[in-house]
Amino acid sequence: MGDPSGIGAEIILKSLPNISRRSIPVIVGDWKVIEAVSHILSDGDKPQQDNLKKILKNNAEFVDLGILKKVSFGISKVEYGEASYRYIMEALKLLFAGEVSAIVTCPINKKSINSAGIEFVGHTELLAHHGGVNDYVMMMANKDMRVSLVTIHIPLKDVPGSISVEKILKTITITSDYIKRYFGLEKPHLKVCGLNPHAGEDGIMGHEETMIDEAIKRAQNNSVDVEGPFPADTLFHRTDCDAFVAMYHDQGLIPVKTTDFARTINITLGLPFVRVSPGHGTGYDIAGKGIADPTSLMEAYRVAEEIISNIQKL
């Protein structure tokens, strides 16, 4: 369910009648939050509210952790951060017990999580920790474009010192390997962004491209179909590859979200399990208003099913 004060419960309720019947959704969260959202969506009409709950019970299994007695929408609180954490930990228990095949996470609020003493920047880092991996990649994707990130949630001023030949190479390699595994592409073609304007223009605007070029050459020597570094301002206007590799958060996320914001999703590559999520945040500004768009969650669920199907064919 993600952050109980965000739009997670709302987009879950709105998604359920529209997702495929290829699998059974198992929702982990608080029933009190579902009740609050169903009241909002039904405008207080009791029969309609009961119908929304019936839709949930007929289309999914619900694991009620019973943490919250009530919820206020659109605010950060310690107890909401704690609840978010416990939801994801319960989902991991189900996953490791073999009771579910994948995790689709609704957004969490990083401030709430951290205020509750959870020392992870976000879902991705938390899941990597419990998955026992150090090498993982955040990929944002929609039907037109996939973009992997070398660095994720760090200040822009720290990016140049955080990239290295090894880190870029790992991002390229993991991206290539998991596109094969998750999407059934035999030899995916990747394109890599430079860091600086004009990809450094032969060192005039920066020298980080030397590292990027070395990582690309090493990947090519390992039979990865990859090229670059390319100037980022001209790279994304044509999608002529299976994935792009960007050096930092906004460099990669602006183009992918601009092409199709509603259907952009987040896929974590490198984990020992499948994790997909909507490409947006908690939506505190619209939480509790009944106007949240469930499209990204529906797409995330569809892609999770697709990935599991492709893995089963291997």
Output the pLDDT for position 109: 93
Output the pLDDT for position 168: 98
Mean of per-residue pLDDT scores for the chain: 94
**pLDDT for 57 beyond 90:** no
Query: What φ, ψ does residue 102 adopt, rounded to 5°?
Result: -160, 165
- Residue 287 is given by DSSP the state T
Output the pLDDT for position 153: 86
Delimit the domains of the chain by residue range: 1-133+271-293+305-314, 134-269
Reported confidence tier of residue 94, pLDDT bands at 50, 70, 90: very high
Reported confidence tier of residue 206, pLDDT bands at 50, 70, 90: confident
Fold: same for 1-133+271-293+305-314 and 134-269? yes
| Dist. CA 88–CA 1, nearest whole Å | 8
Pick left, alpha or beta for residue 206 (phi over 0 → left; psi -120 to 50 → alpha; otherwise beta).
Answer: left
Residue 137, amino acid: V
**pLDDT for 309 beyond 80:** yes
Output the pLDDT for position 178: 97
Reported confidence tier of residue 200, pLDDT bands at 50, 70, 90: confident
| Dist. CA 83–CA 4, nearest whole Å | 7
CB 177 within 8 A of CB 270: no
Output the pLDDT for position 180: 97
If one compares 47 and 156, the residue with the highest pLDDT of the two is 156
Query: What φ, ψ does residue 277 adopt, rounded to 5°?
Result: -150, 165
DSSP-assigned letters across all residues of 54-71 = HHHHHH-EEEE----S--
Mean pLDDT of 244-263: 96
| Dist. CA 8–CA 91, nearest whole Å | 15
Strand order in the sheet with 189-193: 102-104, 274-278, 265-269, 137-141, 146-149, 243-246, 189-193, 225-230
Tokens (6 digits) for 102: 């994948």
Mean pLDDT of 83-103: 97
Contacts of 208 by beta carbon, 8 Å cutoff, 6+ apart: 160, 163, 194, 195, 196, 200, 247
- Assign 167 to helix, strand or coil: helix
Residue 88, amino acid: I
Tokens (6 digits) for 176: 């290539």
Output the pLDDT for position 22: 87
Tokens (6 digits) for 174: 């993991």
**pLDDT for 163 beyond 80:** yes
**pLDDT for 47 beyond 90:** no
- Assign 313 to helix, strand or coil: helix
In Å, what is the CA distance from 3 to each residue of 35, 79, 83, 196? 15, 10, 7, 36
Task: Give residue-wise pLDDT tens across range 109-130.
Answer: 999 999 999 888 778 889 999 9
**Which runs of E-coded beta strand occur in the chain?**
26-29, 61-64, 102-104, 137-141, 146-149, 189-193, 225-230, 243-246, 265-269, 274-278
CATH architecture of 1-133+271-293+305-314: 3-Layer(aba) Sandwich (3.40)
Output the pLDDT for position 48: 86
Residue 11, amino acid: I
Output the pLDDT for position 71: 96
What CATH number has the domain spanning 134-269?
3.40.718.10
**pLDDT for 253 beyond 90:** yes
**pLDDT for 299 beyond 80:** yes
